[in-house]
Structure 1
Amino acid sequence: MEHGILSLLPPVLALVLVLITKRVLLSLGVGIITGALMVHQTEEMFVNAAIMDILTIVTNIFVTEDGINTWEFYIILFLFLLGMIAALITITGGGRAFGEWAMARVKTRVGAQFTAAFLGVIIFIDDYFNSLTVGNVSRPLTDRHRISRAKIAYVVDSTAAPMCVISPVSSWGAYIITIIGGILATHGVMQYEALHAFLLIAPMNFYAVFAIIAVFAVAYWKLDVGPMKAHEFRAVEWNELVDRSKGPIPGENEDAVPQAHGKVSDLVVPILILIVGTVFFMVVTGIQATEGELSLLATFENTDVAAALLYGGLVSFASALFLAFMRKVSVKHISLGLWSGIKSMLPAIYILIFAWTIIEIIDALGTGEYLAAQVDTFIPVALLPALLFLVAGFMAFSTGTSWGTFAIMLPIAGDIAAATDITMMLPVLAAVLAGAIFGDHCSPISDTTILSSAGAGSHHIDHVLTQLPYALLVGLTATASFLVLGFTGSTILGLAAGAVVLAAILLLLHFAAKREPRIKAEKA
């Protein structure tokens, strides 16, 4: 059944309730039930059918007719492993030792945020891996500098997907290049191969480029906008990094008491093994799944990210457990810590399961198809990049999936360019990629947003509300860039226009912040 504009009701309702109640699970639950009732509204026993549909979706997250649903199941197992690894690092005193070591070298709050941002830029293999790893590695340092968890979640989230989407050597890059290759072949665009086209598109992804730049500017100029201001004030003045009144904190290991004589290696070794192991298994699974001639691109195109995360996590967990026994930590203490690590990840896992469920419901309602159909091909060609950026942004925001937005909107954008002006092919594809990341950053049901919250140890609702103003400001910047790109066809002019707009916004915020009273305890 066609639901038209009503297909937007479940995600919009969930978002409104999140903003009003600040209760993510309740809001997502209402959106899920509403959507399921809409899907089955024409059936006689539609309430029972809706309930059975929801139960089936949740069951299929773990098990299908073909066996275990490895992607979602492995991601959840990896989250549990990560919680236990973090607990073991805490127990051995690795987190405390690393914090003390880093404090001696990174002496400012700005430097601590820069460190997290640089890690986010460097670890670009996969956004899930980035979001969870960078947050966990950075926390011992940022906690010592009294940087709120919401601020770190923003830094992590705004470097993870933006880096992955412009890097050809990533799970994202391989996926996008595959889609682009099909689009170019369909429309007879022969002047460049898919990889070449991706490299040309990367600098046109204005949202990703300016989101990364904004992270460093926000840290350097201390631009705490909107709700972020309250979180940073509370962190600096009262050393309250999170609002504990909102319930359990993802990634927090309250029962894991650190050893007094831990070493930096107790943190560095498990994390390095996690990074190296995950990349190794990404290559291995990619090679195993590649048919025909092997290449780096083909390997990353066919890699099984969820399996690689799980295998890398198991090896890292084994190393962390070995170090705990080497430090002569008692079995009882280790057991309490492991259970604490498992419990610490439950809030993020609950939200993730709810998000996956509402995404399935939204897909059944045809929300993405409805939004894609609203793209009017009879508007001025020069406006196409900006329009497609906004449509893709709203689609990703509503559906919570940037990859789903890629799959739906990239072929549509290619068709529009072929039917109007073939020279606009790369700009409109870039606009879709940028819009998908923009919407993903604004969406409370985005899995990468949820995992960034978990990695940084922030309440999910706090991360969503504090990141939203920054995402909207960068989205405004990207819109201006796509307008210039559409009218001039010049990537350089588009970047220049965006740079001017972003600089103007940041300067206004900077001067406004200077007029406000300084946070007393803040370090440079």
Structure 2
Amino acid sequence: MPSPDITSLLPIVFTLILSLYTRNVIIGLFTGVVAAVVMLSGFNPFTVLSILVKTYLVGTLTDSYNAGVIVLMVFIGGFVALMEKSGGGPAFASKIMTWISSRARAQIAAWCGGIFIFYSDLGTPLIVGPVFRPLFDKLQVSRQKLAFIIDSTASPVAILIPFIGWGIYIMGLMQKEFDAAAQNISAWDAFFYTIPFQFYAILAIAVVPILVWRKADFGPMADAEYKCKTAATQERSNDPAFITPFSHKNARASFVFGPLFVMAAVLGIMLVPLGFPFNSVPGSVFRAALSSAYFLAAVTLIGLMAWYKVRSLNNGIGVYLNGMSNMMQVTIILVLAWTLSSLGKELGTAQYIAEQAQRGFPSWLLPAVAFVFSAIISFATGSSWGTFAIMLPLVIPTAFAIDAALFVSMGAVLSGGLFGDHCSPISETTILSATGSNCNQFEHFRTQLPYALMNGGIAVVSFLVAGIYEHQGIIVMALLLQLLLLIGITRKFKVATP
């Protein structure tokens, strides 16, 4: 391996520049991978491409751990597509409409619906938004508020669940770095230890019921709520094509409960005898159990749709296969991130960063710095997953080298990526939340931003404290600070919702 020097950072620099300039993380990662291969093998286009494919990309794909993660992601993609196209979400929502008779209940119901549709961050705006939109119109709750609620329960909920696409993707990135650093740490355990330090995600979820309880908003959201309360009709998006969720007269709420029950039962049958969740199980066994659970849950849902004549068997299988193919972009990001990590190890990138950090960078500051940089990258690219692929391979080795709080630092990367995604007007969840609510995209961005900035500021303070004193109870401090700020803001500016 070459002696690590500042040139070992070039692939990362190219990745960041191209990702930010093109707003496409795949282009950035691919450029960084090619640059690393050029540095290792010399500038010969044919040789570079041959080595890239034969040695690195194929090597990454044939690794047993990587292959297991990719297979699991494909199964998850098929299952999520079935859930979104089954009509079960709208059928479930219609069941809870009977007790909604007030503005507060409507907002809490939409919030609960977003949490319940945890299996897909994109499923929340696709299902919850269109289903609750007529009810919000009837009760004169602004569509900006609906977009804010579903955006606050889409990615923030999904990022806390270890057995869906978000968790599997993140654990895949974590495990690669643990193995490279020769650390005997299970990515499954690490993910759970990181959850209490995902300050921004938890704050984003918690802010909704607090606002409903206080019956107050501030900033542009307060103006939107006032206009909605006093206007005869809601202001709609200028785009006439808005999302309508798939629904069917024969769809049942059991389309949601049934497959999830099957999934839980399969996981229990396969993992509980091995001591799960109290004892750690081998990663390969866990991934095999999850793949089996998702596959059998999908089979159950296809059968239910055929039984109730919502979709034929062939049509259901077609939806399933199409959902599998939709995971291609995620797979490409994962493969390129793993490959760049391996190349970075050969170049000594992590070693160089760690050596520079050891010369005076305070270890307690790493989480806050990781949060800020992740937020910037995510805001500029509109991609939290791409941000994780760039930042985790940098932050994890640095945390090991300077003895920084590892789980806090990883939580900072995840929180920063989510915060930037929430603040970015070009992120997919921002666009879909506005579209699902049929409100103007810029209006959603403008009304959500003050809440995101408030939670982001609290998260920075929390990461500074957690960097010094690594304790899971700091999240309680963050939530109390959020509550006090909201009470103080709404009292001072007297912006109670009419």
TM-score calculated relative to the size of structure 2: 0.65
Of 444, 456, 469 in structure 2, the residue corresponding to residue 475 of structure 1 is 456
Match of 2:478 in 1: 498
Following the alignment from structure 1 to structure 2, what is the Cα–Cα distance between the partners of residues 6 and 193?
28
Change in 2 beyond 3 A, CA 1:444/1:11: farther
Aligned to 1:394, which of 368, 373, 376?
Answer: 376
Inter-partner Cα distance in structure 1 for 2:169 and 2:475: 25
SS at match of 2:154: helix
Contact 1:98 1:141 in 2 (8 A): no
Which one-letter code corresponds to 2:392 in the other structure? Answer: L
**Change in CA separation of 1:279 and 1:297 when aligned onto 2, cut-off 3 Å:** farther
Deviations 1:325-348 (A, max 9, x none): xxxxxxxxxxxxxxxxxxxxxxxx
Whole-angstrom CA distance in 2 between matches of 1:243 and 1:164: 28
**1:314 Cα offset (Å):** 12
- Partner Cα distance (1:315, 1:459) in 2: 37
Distance 2:261 2:377 in 1: 31
Q: Give the corresponding residue for 2:112.
A: 118
- Which of 139, 155, 158 in structure 1 is aligned with 2:152? 158
Pick aligned residue for 2:409 from 428, 431, 434: 428
Partner of 1:127: 121
Query: Compared with structure 1, are the counterparts of its residues 293 and 469 closer, same or farther at alpha carbon in structure 2 (3 Å cutoff)?
Result: closer
Provide the secondary structure at the position in 1 that maps to 2:216. Answer: coil
Instruction: Give 1:204 deviation, angstroms.
Output: 0.9
State the alpha-carbon separation in 2 of the partners of residues 439 and 313 from structure 1: 37
Q: CA deviation at 1:105?
A: 1.7
Q: Which residue of the partner structure matches residue 237 of structure 1?
A: 230
The alpha carbon displacement at 1:453 in A equals 2.5
Number of aligned residue pairs: 413
User: Per-residue CA shift, 1:170-199, capped at 9, x if unaligned?
Assistant: 211122222222222322333x42211111
Evaluate the alpha carbon distance shift between residue 485 and residue 129 of structure 1 in structure 2; reply closer, same or farther with a 3 A threshold.
same
Distance in 1, matches of 2:120 and 2:448, equals 20
**Alpha-carbon offset, residue 379 of structure 1:** 2.3
Query: Following the alignment from structure 2 to structure 1, what is the Cα–Cα distance between the partners of residues 183 and 175?
Result: 10
Quickly say closer, same or farther: Cα 1:252–1:150, change in 2 above 3 A: farther
Q: Which amino acid aligns with 2:401?
A: A
Deviations for 1:242-300, whole angstroms, at most 9, x for unmatched residues? 335x33252269xx9xxxxxxxx96793565367569979999xxxxxxx997554455
**Cα separation, 2, equivalents of 1:467 and 1:318:** 42
In the alignment, which residue of structure 2 is the partner of 1:404?
Answer: 386
Counterpart contact for 2:225–2:497, Cα < 8 Å: no
1:441 matched to 2:422? The reply is yes
Indicate how the Cα distance of structure 1 residues 183 and 109 shifts in structure 2: closer, same or farther if over 3 A, else same. Answer: same
Query: 1:464 pairs with 420, 445, 452, which one?
Result: 445
Q: Does 1:221 align with 2:214?
A: yes
**Alignment correspondent of 1:49:** none
Shift of 1:427: 1.4
Residue in 2 that maps onto 1:247: 239
Task: Give the distance between the partners of 1:418 and 1:404, measured in 2 at CA.
Answer: 22
Matches within 5 A, 1:120-519: 120-190=114-184, 192-244=185-237, 246-248=238-240, 250-251=242-243, 269=251, 272-273=254-255, 295=285, 297-298=287-288, 300=290, 377=357, 378-421=360-403, 424-492=405-473, 494-513=474-493, 515-516=494-495, 519=498
Asked if the contact 2:20/2:381 (under 8 Å) is kept, the reply is yes
- Going from structure 1 to structure 2, the CA distance change for 1:185 and 1:82 (only over 3 Å counts) comes to closer
Say whether the 8 Å CA contact 1:223–1:509 is kept in structure 2.
Answer: no
Deviation at 1:497, TM superposition (A): 3.3
Amino acid in structure 2 at the alignment position of 1:150: Q
Amino acid of the residue matched to residue 223 of structure 1? Answer: A
Distance between the aligned counterparts of 1:507 and 1:397, measured in 2? 28
Partner SS, residue 491 of structure 1: coil
Query: 1:152 Cα shift?
Result: 1.1
In 2, Cα distance between equivalents of 1:441 and 1:170: 20
> Which amino acid in the other structure matches residue 400 of structure 1?
G
Distance 1:123 1:518, change over 3 A: closer
Given the superposition, is the C-alpha separation of residues 453 and 381 from structure 1 closer, same or farther in structure 2, using an over 3 Å criterion?
A: same
CA distance in 2 between counterparts of 1:374 and 1:505 reads: 37
* Distance in 1 between residues matched to 2:138 and 2:441, nearest whole Å: 22
Superposition deviation, residue 207 in structure 1? 0.7
Q: Tell me the alpha carbon deviations over residues 89-143 of structure 1, each in whole angstroms, 9 at most, x when there is no partner.
A: 8xxxx89x949x72x5222211111111112222222212233222233334333
CA–CA distance in 2 between the matches of 1:188 and 1:437?
29
Structure 2 contact 204–452 (Cα < 8 Å) conserved: yes
Whole-angstrom distance in 2 between the partners of 1:516 and 1:488: 37
User: Amino acid of the residue matched to residue 487 of structure 1?
Assistant: I
* 1:10–1:437 distance in 2 versus 1, CA, 3 Å: closer
The letter for the 1-side match of 2:126 is L
Equivalent AA in structure 1 for residue 448 of structure 2: Q
How much is the aligned-residue C-alpha RMSD, in angstroms?
5.3
3-state SS of the aligned residue for 1:175?
A: helix
Distance in 1 separating the partners of 2:235 and 2:17? 32
Identical aligned residues as a percent: 29
Deviates more, 1:104-113 or 1:151-160: 104-113
Q: Equivalents in 1 of 2:186, 2:132: separation in Å? A: 39
Structure 1 counterpart SS, 2:439:
coil
Q: Tell me, what secondary structure is at the counterpart of 2:122? A: helix
Contact 2:236/2:438 (8 A) holds in 1: no
Q: Is the 8 A contact 2:368 2:412 kept in 1?
A: yes
Counterpart residue identity of residue 203, structure 1: P
Q: Secondary structure at the match of 1:197?
A: helix
Measured after TM superposition, the shift of residue 223 of structure 1 is: 3.3
Partners of 1:485 and 1:150 in 2: how far apart? 34
- Once residues 210 and 249 of structure 2 are traced to their aligned partners in structure 1, the CA distance between those partners, rounded to angstroms, is 29
Which residue of 2 is the match for residue 342 of structure 1?
Answer: none
Given that residues 81 and 313 in structure 1 are in contact (C-alpha distance below 8 angstroms), is that contact kept between their aligned partners in structure 2?
no
Structure 1 residues 217, 81: closer, same or farther in 2, change over 3 A?
A: closer
Contact map agreement 2:250 2:309 (CA 8 A) in 1:
no
**Deviation of the 1:443 alpha carbon:** 1.5
Deviations 1:49-98 (A, max 9, x none): xxxxxxxxxxxxxxxxxxxxxx99x99xx999979969xx8xxxx89x94
SS of 1:166's equivalent in the other structure is coil
1:14-66 Cα distance to aligned partner (Å, 9 max, x none): 9xxxxxxxxxxxxx9xxxxxxxxxxxxxxxxxxxxxxxxxxxxxxxxxxxxxx
**3-state secondary structure, aligned to 1:269:** coil
Q: Residue 106 of structure 2 contacts residue 136 of structure 2 at CA under 8 Å; is this kept in 1?
A: yes
